[in-house]
């Protein structure tokens, strides 16, 4: 029965990791995707603009 005790933690972690990945994949996209993409694009443009101003 030692093998059961040895295999339980890795199996629990594998199930939890799989559930995490499934949750992440399911929450991608949806109604807020365009809004989130816009926020990221604006932040990237702001960071790019600030970097170009420092070089000038």
Spatial distance between the Cα atoms of 48 and 26, rounded to a whole number of angstroms: 31
Spatial distance between the Cα atoms of 55 and 22, rounded to a whole number of angstroms: 43
Predicted confidence at residue 49, as pLDDT, reads 81
Spatial distance between the Cα atoms of 15 and 31, rounded to a whole number of angstroms: 28
Provide the whole-model pTM: 0.51
Predicted confidence at residue 9, as pLDDT, reads 95
**Residue holding tokens 């996209």?**
29
- Give the SS3 label for residue 51: helix
How do the pLDDT tens digits run along the chain, 56 residues long?
Answer: 899 999 999 999 999 999 999 998 888 877 777 887 888 999 999 988 876 666 55
């Amino acid at each position: 029965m030692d093998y059961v005790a040895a295999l339980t933690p890795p199996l629990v972690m594998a199930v939890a990791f799989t559930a995490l990945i499934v949750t992440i994949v399911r929450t991608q996209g949806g109604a807020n995707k365009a809004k989130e993409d816009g926020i990221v694009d604006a932040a990237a443009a702001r960071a790019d603009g600030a970097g170009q101003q420092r070089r000038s």
